[in-house]
Structure 1
Amino acid sequence: MSLTEPRTTSDLLNFRLNRLLASSGAMIVRLCEGRYGITRREWRLLALLTEHGAMSPSELAQRANLERNRVSRLIPELVAKELITRVAVRGDGRRAEVAITAAGRTLYAELLPQSVAFSREVLAVLTDAERDAFDAALHKLTESAERIAARKPVPEKADRRHGGARRLRER
């Protein structure tokens, strides 16, 4: 495998990161779904609300790096589980924010240390210097990717609903 000279899709940065995420994330998925009855995405929303306070669904979607409509579908599920609540925005009856509940904070307090332990276990194969270098590299790569994405080098909009099939038919 080579990041600088990929010969197959398995060599590409995003595929390798996705493989790492799938492997390390599987532990969190089992913990979230098996022990706590929430999905990994619901856990992400709960963590963001706990760490950053009440916010609009749009802001929550942006911080979670999820599509707004996906977050809109997750919110009623978390409200039904009494882990978050909708709070009317003062002075604007049309808008609402979502906020963590006491039960949501309790779940966060239980789940975060377990998530940290899994993360530490995965990172334990690296030396302190390797972890520092990896952390710095992730930061630089993320900043680079965000700059490139902001330039919109691919002008076409994503068509996730149709899986791009419409463009294939137009050719």
Structure 2
Amino acid sequence: MKTLNPQSIDDMLLYRLGRVLGKAGSLVTRICEGEFGITRREWRVLAQLGKRDGILSSELADAAQLDRARTSRAVTALVARQLVVRVPRPHDRRQVVLHLSDAGRALYEAVLPRVMAIHQALVAPLSPVEADQLDALLAVLQSQADAMQCGADLPKADRRRGGRGLRASS
């Protein structure tokens, strides 16, 4: 019942999910950075392209749930390392389609099993019924979060100034 009626920050869903992500996500970061020399954000981009190769940068940003500027920086870094290839669209050269290079595909195939092992270890204590329940509950929460974001009219922090100050929401 503490999820519906939190008594402290420790009871709040976002804080609890953040702690799980912080612990398990740090393992992914250590693998990505320590073993493969890529950031976790670059891994998110590679993982999305591994699943859905040949998409526009804007589609990639949506799929990876990154803003377009961060997606662009990650893609630029991966292009510089020859892990991702930008291919201009023939009918509109302003748009580029993103593909994994052979080296990018090999890296994706090397990292994915390691990240999958972290996932498997994290959910290992759950029974199949509990795992199905968790999947269903996460889908409900994702849908609610999407709806909340669409309806939110909140100011955006000006990150160029370290989060101090606000800028108009777009």
Q: Judge same fold: TM > 0.5, yes or no.
A: yes
Question: Compared with structure 1, are the counterparts of its residues 59 and 119 closer, same or farther at alpha carbon in structure 2 (3 Å cutoff)?
Answer: same
Equivalence for 1:10: 10
Secondary structure at the residue paired with 2:27? helix
Q: How many Å apart are 1:9 and its aligned residue?
A: 1.8
**Structure 1 residues 5-154: aligned runs within 5 Å:** 5-152=5-152
Instruction: Report the identity percentage.
Output: 38
Equivalence for 1:157: 155
Q: How many Å apart are 1:165 and its aligned residue?
A: 3.0
**5+ residue gaps in structure 1?**
none
Q: How many Å apart are 1:146 and its aligned residue?
A: 1.1
**5+ residue gaps in structure 2?**
none
- What is the CA–CA distance in structure 2 between the aligned matches of 1:59 and 1:96, rounded to whole Å? 11
* Cα RMSD after superposing both structures: 1.6
User: What is the CA deviation profile of residues 25-84 of structure 1, one whole-angstrom value per residue up to 9, with x for unaligned ones?
Assistant: 111111111110001110110111111111221111111111111111111210111110
Question: What amino acid sits opposite 2:110 in the alignment?
Answer: E
Given that 2:85 and 2:98 are in contact with CA atoms closer than 8 Å, whether structure 1 keeps it comes out as yes
TM-score normalised to structure 2 length:
0.90
Question: What amino acid sits opposite 1:147 in the alignment?
Answer: A
Equivalence for 1:166: 165
TM-score normalised to structure 1 length:
0.89
- What is the CA–CA distance in structure 2 between the aligned matches of 1:11 and 1:133, rounded to whole Å? 20
Runs of 4+ in 1 over 4 A off after TM superposition: none
Given that 2:82 and 2:103 are in contact with CA atoms closer than 8 Å, whether structure 1 keeps it comes out as yes
Secondary structure at the residue paired with 1:165? coil
Number of residue equivalences: 165
- What is the CA–CA distance in structure 1 between the aligned matches of 2:46 and 2:79, rounded to whole Å? 11
User: What is the CA deviation profile of residues 60-114 of structure 1, one whole-angstrom value per residue up to 9, with x for unaligned ones?
Assistant: 1111111111111111210111110111111222222221111111111111111
Question: What amino acid sits opposite 1:105 in the alignment?
Answer: R
